[in-house]
C-alpha cells in the first residue's frame, strides 16, 4: 500500500494498513451480488451516485467489482437515458426502505427496466468515477468495461441536456432535493418553503430512516411531507419532463449537479480518446456547461456559486458547500477558481494546509448551522473528496493534502460512518457506510494532480 508521503495525525503505516482493512471489510459486508448497498440498515438498495463513488473504491482492491457495480446500475437505465437514483432489490421485503417501489410505480411508465426503480436522478459523477477507476486499475478488462459503458454514459448526459434544461440556458434543473444528493441542505430551504405540504401527512406513513438513525440527525417530518408531495407531482405527470416549468413545485439549478454534469463531459472526452471514439464534441460541451454555470450561478457579490430557484429566477442566499463544487471543472476561469479557493479557506469552510476541524457542508458561521443534522452542517467524505479533487485540478496541492489528512483522520477516529460531527469528528448516521469506505481507499493512495 502507498499511503502517501504526507503524515496524518493518525500516524504510521501500520495504522493506515488497519484503516485499509476496515474499508475493505466494510465494502465486502455491503456487497450484494452485483452492487454495493450504501448501508445494510438505512439504504439496503442500490443508489446511483453512491455506486459511482463506491466503484472508485473497488478499483483499488477488486477492480472487477467496480465494473460490475457500474454495469448493474446502468442496466436499470431508462429508455430515455435517465439513470434512476434508486434501483430496488426485489429480494427485500416491502418496508425495507421508505419510500419503496409502491410509491414510485416505475413499472407503470413506458421505457423502464424490468426491475423497480425511482424516477429521479442524482449528480452524474459516474463518467468521472469510471475514468478514475480505470486509471487506478488500467487493465484490458477495465478498458473493455469502459467501452461498454461509454454509450450509456453518453445517453445519461443526453437525457440531462435535452430533457432537463428547463430554462433553456444550458444547465440541468433538478426537480427534487433528492436529486441534488444533499437532501435537506439549507440551499433548499427557500425553494422548499413554497412546496405545499403538512408535516401531519407523515402520520399515514412509517418512516424507515428514523428507526435506524436519530431523528435529530435526519430531515424533519415537514421535509419528508414535501419530498413526498414533489415525488407525487412528478410521478403523476408520468415522470415526463415536458411542461415542468408550468407547474412542477421544485425546479432548481444546482451548482454541484451542474459541475458534475460538466466534469462528466471532460471525463467522456478522455474515455472517448481511450476507446477510439471522438472526444471533440465532449470538450465543446464541457466548455459550454462551464460558461453557463459561471453566467447563471456565480454570484460576484458573494464570490461563490449559489443555486438558482427557477420558480423565482433568483439565486438562493444560503452559502453551502454546493457552491465549491465547480472547482472540479478544469476549465473554470481563474477569477472564479480563485474566489472559490478563498471561500473554501474562509472561516465558513476552514480548508487549510493543517485543518483544525473537518470540512462542513454548510457555512459554520451561519446562525442556522446544525452540526448534527445530515446535510445542514456535518462533514461527508464524498463532498470532501470532490473539493479535494477540485483543489488538485486548480493547482492547490497543499490545501488538497490538508483536506485529505482531515478526512483520513475522521475515519481513523470514528470508523466508516456516513457523516461526522463537524467540530468533534464523532461518527453519525450509518456506522458502515459504502462511499466512506470506498473514498477512504482512494484517499489512502495519494495521487498526483489531474
Catalytic residues: 183, 418
Please identify, using beta-carbon distances, which residue of 183 and 442 lies nearer to ligand 2M8.
183
The number of beta carbons lying within 10 Å of the beta carbon of residue 1 is 12
Quick note: the x/- pattern for ligand 2M8 over 199-238, rule CB under 6 A, is ----------x-----------------------------
- Find where cell 478522455 sits: 270
**Can residue 50 be called a binding residue for ligand 2M8 (CB under 6 A)?**
yes
Please identify, using beta-carbon distances, which residue of 206 and 242 lies nearer to ligand 2M8.
206
Rounded least distance, CB 36 to ligand 2M8, Å:
11
Q: Residue 234 region, left (φ>0) first, then alpha (ψ -120 to 50), else beta?
A: alpha
Please identify, using beta-carbon distances, which residue of 286 and 324 lies nearer to ligand 2M8.
324
Quick note: the x/- pattern for ligand 2M8 over 76-115, rule CB under 6 A, is ---------x------------------------------
Rounded least distance, CB 237 to ligand 2M8, Å:
20
Q: What residues contact 313, with CB distance under 8 A and at least 6 apart?
A: none
Rounded least distance, CB 121 to ligand 2M8, Å:
11
Record the cell numbers describing residue 9, joined without a space.
495525525
Alpha-carbon distance 207 to 99, whole Å? 8
Of 330, 302, 333, nearest to 316 (Cα)? 302
Residues numbered 240 to 269 that lie near ligand 2M8 (CB under 6 A) are none
Binding residue count for ligand 2M8, defined by CB under 6 A: 10
Q: Is the dihedral of CA 450, 52, 84, 324 positive or negative?
A: negative
What is the arrangement of strands in the sheet containing 314-315, beginning at the earlier edge strand?
Answer: 252-253, 308-309, 314-315
Q: Determine which helix (DSSP H) or strand (DSSP E) holds 346, and give its type and residue range.
A: none
Residues numbered 6 to 45 that lie near ligand 2M8 (CB under 6 A) are 38, 43
Which member of 31, 49, 224, 239 binds ligand 2M8 (CB under 6 A)?
49
Label each residue of 10-24 as H, E or C.
Answer: CCCHHHHHHHHHHHH
Please identify, using beta-carbon distances, which residue of 183 and 343 lies nearer to ligand 2M8.
183
Which member of 31, 104, 178, 257 binds ligand 2M8 (CB under 6 A)?
178
Alpha-carbon distance 86 to 100, whole Å? 9
Residue ranges binding ligand 2M8 (CB under 6 A): 38, 43, 47, 49-50, 85, 178, 181, 183, 209
Amino acid at each position: 500500500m502507498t499511503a502517501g508521503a504526507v503524515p496524518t495525525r493518525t500516524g504510521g503505516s501500520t495504522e493506515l494498513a488497519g484503516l485499509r482493512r476496515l474499508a475493505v471489510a466494510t465494502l465486502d459486508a455491503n456487497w450484494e451480488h452485483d452492487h454495493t448497498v450504501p448501508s445494510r440498515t438505512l439504504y439496503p438498495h442500490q443508489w446511483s451516485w453512491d455506486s459511482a463513488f463506491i466503484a472508485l473504491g473497488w478499483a483499488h482492491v477488486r477492480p472487477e467489482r467496480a465494473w460490475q457495480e457500474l454495469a448493474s446500475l446502468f442496466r436499470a437505465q431508462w429508455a430515455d437515458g435517465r439513470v434512476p437514483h434508486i434501483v430496488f432489490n426485489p429480494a427485500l421485503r416491502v418496508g425495507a426502505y421508505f419510500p419503496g417501489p409502491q410509491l414510485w410505480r416505475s413499472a407503470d411508465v413506458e421505457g423502464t427496466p424490468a426491475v423497480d426503480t425511482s424516477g429521479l436522478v442524482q449528480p452524474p459523477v459516474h463518467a468521472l468515477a469510471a475514468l478514475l477507476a480505470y486509471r487506478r486499475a488500467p487493465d484490458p478488462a477495465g478498458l473493455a468495461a469502459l467501452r461498454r459503458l461509454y454509450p450509456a454514459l453518453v445517453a445519461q448526459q443526453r437525457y440531462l441536456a435535452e430533457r432537463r434544461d428547463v430554462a433553456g440556458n444550458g444547465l440541468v434543473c433538478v426537480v427534487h432535493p433528492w436529486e441534488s444528493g444533499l437532501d435537506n441542505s439549507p440551499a433548499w430551504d427557500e425553494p422548499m418553503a413554497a412546496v405545499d405540504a403538512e408535516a401531519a401527512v407523515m402520520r399515514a406513513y412509517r418512516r424507515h430512516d428514523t428507526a435506524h438513525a436519530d431523528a435529530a440527525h435526519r430531515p424533519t417530518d415537514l421535509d419528508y411531507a414535501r419530498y413526498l408531495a414533489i415525488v407525487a407531482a412528478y410521478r403523476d405527470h408520468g415522470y415526463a419532463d415536458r411542461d415542468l416549468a408550468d407547474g412542477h413545485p421544485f425546479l432548481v439549478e444546482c451548482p454541484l449537479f451542474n459541475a458534475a454534469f460538466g466534469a462528466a463531459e471532460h471525463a467522456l472526452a478522455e474515455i472517448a480518446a481511450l476507446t477510439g471514439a471522438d472526444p471533440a464534441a465532449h470538450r465543446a460541451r464541457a466548455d459550454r456547461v462551464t460558461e453557463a454555470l459561471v453566467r447563471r450561478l456565480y454570484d460576484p457579490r458573494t464570490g461563490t456559486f449559489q443555486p438558482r430557484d427557477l420558480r423565482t429566477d433568483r439565486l438562493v442566499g444560503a452559502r453551502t458547500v454546493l457552491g465549491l463544487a465547480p472547482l472540479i471543472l478544469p476549465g473554470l476561469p481563474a477569477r472564479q477558481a480563485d474566489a472559490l479557493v478563498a471561500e473554501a479557506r474562509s472561516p465558513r469552510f476552514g480548508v487549510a494546509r493543517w485543518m483544525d476541524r473537518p470540512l462542513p457542508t454548510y457555512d459554520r458561521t451561519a446562525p442556522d448551522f446544525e452540526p448534527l443534522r445530515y446535510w445542514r452542517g456535518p462533514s461527508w467524505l464524498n463532498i470532501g473528496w470532490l473539493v479535494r479533487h477540485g483543489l488538485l485540478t486548480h493547482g492547490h496541492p497543499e490545501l488538497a493534502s490538508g483536506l485529505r489528512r482531515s478526512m483520513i483522520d475522521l475515519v481513523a477516529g470514528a470508523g466508516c460512518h456516513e457523516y461526522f460531527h463537524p467540530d468533534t469528528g464523532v461518527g453519525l448516521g450509518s456506522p458502515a457506510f459504502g462511499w466512506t469506505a470506498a473514498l477512504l481507499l482512494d484517499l489512502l493512495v495519494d495521487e498526483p494532480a489531474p
